[in-house]
Amino acid sequence: MLNISPISVSSQIDRSKYKAYDKLKTRTHAKYLIKIFIGLFVLFILGLFLPWTQNIRSSGTVTTLNPYDKPQTIQPLIGGRIERWYVKEGDVVNIGDTIAILTEAKEEYLDPNLLANTKEQQDAKLRSADAYVEKTKFLKEQLISLEELQDSKLQQLTIKNQQLDIEINSIEQDLVAAQTYAENARNQLSRMEEMFSKGIKSLTDLETKRLSNREADAKLLSVQNKLNKLRNDKLNIGQDRLLTVSDYEQKVSKLASEIQTADSYRFSLLGESTKLESKFNQIQQRQNAYAITSPINGRITKILKTGIGEFVKSQDDLATIVPLTYQRAVELYIEPVDMPLIQIGKEVRLQFDGWPAIIFSGWPDNSFGTYDGEVFAIDYDISENGMYRILVIEDNQQKDWPDLIRIGAGARGLLLLNDVRVYYELWRQLNGFPPDFYEEGKFKDVKRKAPLRKIK
């Protein structure tokens, strides 16, 4: 029957008695299947020439573009004890609204008159500094008076010195006259003694000449003594001048030292006053920091410290707040091999968690449930996960993103690259080549180049 054996029995069978033989003669399924396979093959060949949009798939999360739009925690500037809460979870607050009130917990700030006492201490330091200003003023006035006194005394010594010079000049003239007179007296005495020895003059005349000679010598000695005295007086004036200058310098040095000391004390008091003023301002700011206010317009999402009377430290997290309005963005992570293909402004199709979508990766225009975006920023430093991060923002010219998207929601992105043919995309995928890097434009307007990756 199946013509397996070399001995055939088909000639001995009457085929008209069996209906199965008639049905086998009329079967047409094989012809239809062949036509179907041929049609599918033709469709497959034609499909290879359809356009295909190369893309890069990635995943990430929804975030905010601006750092001040991110969810943040409210922290106290100082430590203290919670006295009262003014909000609860879910409340909407504006900038400056009070979140909670703290009371002081440090014993050094428990004095109710601490501000007033600190202010009084500062004023006392300022008054002491003003007193030293007056003291410095008086010392400078003494210095001026001392300088005037020295000038006056030096002028007196100068005048006295000039007077001595005049007297010395006069005495020197007298000395010349006295020397001349004494010399004449000696000459007359010599002649008188000669005349007396010859008997021309009497002894009385000789004695008179001897007396005149002694008077002339005495007068000469007197003039010499007077001249020596005047010269000594002039030397004394020079010594007095030196003593006056030295005494003035000592007094000036002492006054200058006292002025420097007064200025030093004054500056020290001013420094202490500045410290007290700084402490006053710190206390004032600390008291103002008891009221914890909202830094932004937002919604309180979680209270992290509960109860009344609980102690908190500075920079402890009290509550979490989320901005009411923010500019959304999606952060996606790209493999390093795909980074050269990413450019700012590149088109991206996004799918968000919770929003169903039908995606045809090669035909993004035929996808449903996706939203448009564009690359806004690219990190130049690789992330800890070994990939590069990019930020995608909403394309304002296309369909808006859903308003109910929350920060932190998952997102998947298709970064659209160049348009190629399906057969080329299959060949690229089979060989493991990266997408082609073309200039911007459609497939028909550019010349495709071979991939740059080397084949191992």
Q: Which of the listed residues 288, 309, 338 is the one where a domain comes to its end?
A: 288
pLDDT tens, residue by residue, 386-418: 888 989 988 877 778 888 888 888 888 877 666
Is residue 275 situated within a structural domain?
yes
As a whole number of angstroms, the distance between CA 439 and CA 183 comes to 131
Q: Determine the pLDDT at residue 58.
A: 83
pLDDT of 4 higher than 70? no
pLDDT tens, residue by residue, 287-344: 888 888 998 888 898 888 877 888 888 888 889 998 888 888 899 998 887 777 778 8
Range(s) of the domain holding residue 376: 51-67+326-445
Please, what is the average pLDDT of the chain? 78
Closest residue by Cα to residue 355 from 14, 62, 69? 62
Average pLDDT, integer, range 210-216: 81
Q: How confident is the model at residue 92 (pLDDT cuts 50, 70, 90)?
A: very high
Closest residue by Cα to residue 99 from 288, 301, 292, 286? 292
Is residue 63 situated within a structural domain?
yes
DSSP SS3 for 301: strand
Is residue 187 situated within a structural domain?
yes
Q: Determine the pLDDT at residue 434.
A: 61
- Cross-sheet strand order for the sheet of 98-103: 291-293, 98-103, 80-85, 311-312
In this prediction the pTM is 0.52
Is residue 8 situated within a structural domain?
no
As a whole number of angstroms, the distance between CA 415 and CA 392 comes to 10
Q: Are 305 and 438 within one domain?
A: no
CATH of the domain at 386: 2.40.30.170
DSSP SS3 for 73: strand
Q: Are 203 and 91 within one domain?
A: no
**93, amino acid identity:** V
The domain total for the chain is 3
Average pLDDT, integer, range 15-28: 62
Is residue 22 situated within a structural domain?
no
Is residue 259 situated within a structural domain?
yes
CB of 122 closer than 8 Å to CB of 276:
yes
| HSE-CB of 155 using CA atoms within 13 angstroms | 6
Average pLDDT, integer, range 126-150: 85
Average pLDDT, integer, range 70-79: 86
CB of 331 closer than 8 Å to CB of 63:
yes
Is residue 14 situated within a structural domain?
no
As a whole number of angstroms, the distance between CA 88 and CA 179 comes to 124
Residue showing tokens 């102690």 = 311
As a whole number of angstroms, the distance between CA 291 and CA 98 comes to 6
Average pLDDT, integer, range 205-225: 81
pLDDT of 17 higher than 80? no
Average pLDDT, integer, range 426-455: 48
Q: Are 230 and 298 within one domain?
A: no
pLDDT of 260 higher than 50? yes
Q: Are 351 and 304 within one domain?
A: no
| Region label for 233, one of left (φ > 0), alpha (ψ between -120 and 50) or beta (otherwise) | alpha
Q: Are 93 and 196 within one domain?
A: no
Q: Determine the pLDDT at residue 172.
A: 79
DSSP single-letter state for residue 52: E
As a whole number of angstroms, the distance between CA 155 and CA 163 comes to 12
pLDDT of 366 higher than 60? no
Q: Determine the pLDDT at residue 216.
A: 79
Closest residue by Cα to residue 350 from 61, 66, 54? 61
Q: Are 393 and 274 within one domain?
A: no
pLDDT tens, residue by residue, 30-71: 667 777 878 787 777 776 666 666 667 788 888 888 877 888
- DSSP conformation letters of 169-190: HHHHHHHHHHHHHHHHHHHHHH
Q: Worst-scoring range by mean pLDDT, 257-266, 287-296, 435-444?
A: 435-444
Q: Are 202 and 125 within one domain?
A: yes
| HSE-CB of 114 using CA atoms within 13 angstroms | 17
pLDDT of 442 higher than 60? no
CATH of the domain at 206: 1.10.287
CB of 431 closer than 8 Å to CB of 370:
no
| Helical packing angle, 203-288 and 114-197, nearest 10° | 170
| Region label for 354, one of left (φ > 0), alpha (ψ between -120 and 50) or beta (otherwise) | left
Q: Are 186 and 205 within one domain?
A: yes
Q: Determine the pLDDT at residue 304.
A: 87
**245, amino acid identity:** V
As a whole number of angstroms, the distance between CA 289 and CA 226 comes to 92
Q: Are 125 and 273 within one domain?
A: yes
CATH of the domain at 90: 2.40.50.100
Q: Are 284 and 295 within one domain?
A: no
pLDDT of 360 higher than 50? no
Average pLDDT, integer, range 152-170: 83
Q: Are 182 and 263 within one domain?
A: yes
Q: Determine the pLDDT at residue 167.
A: 83
Q: Which of the listed residues 288, 313, 344 is the one where a domain comes to its end?
A: 288
Q: Determine the pLDDT at residue 31.
A: 67
Q: Are 150 and 211 within one domain?
A: yes
As a whole number of angstroms, the distance between CA 359 and CA 349 comes to 10
Q: Determine the pLDDT at residue 446.
A: 38
Is residue 353 situated within a structural domain?
yes
As a whole number of angstroms, the distance between CA 104 and CA 120 comes to 22
Stronger pLDDT, 254 or 448, i.e. the higher one: 254
Stronger pLDDT, 182 or 88, i.e. the higher one: 88
As a whole number of angstroms, the distance between CA 349 and CA 372 comes to 5
pLDDT of 221 higher than 60? yes
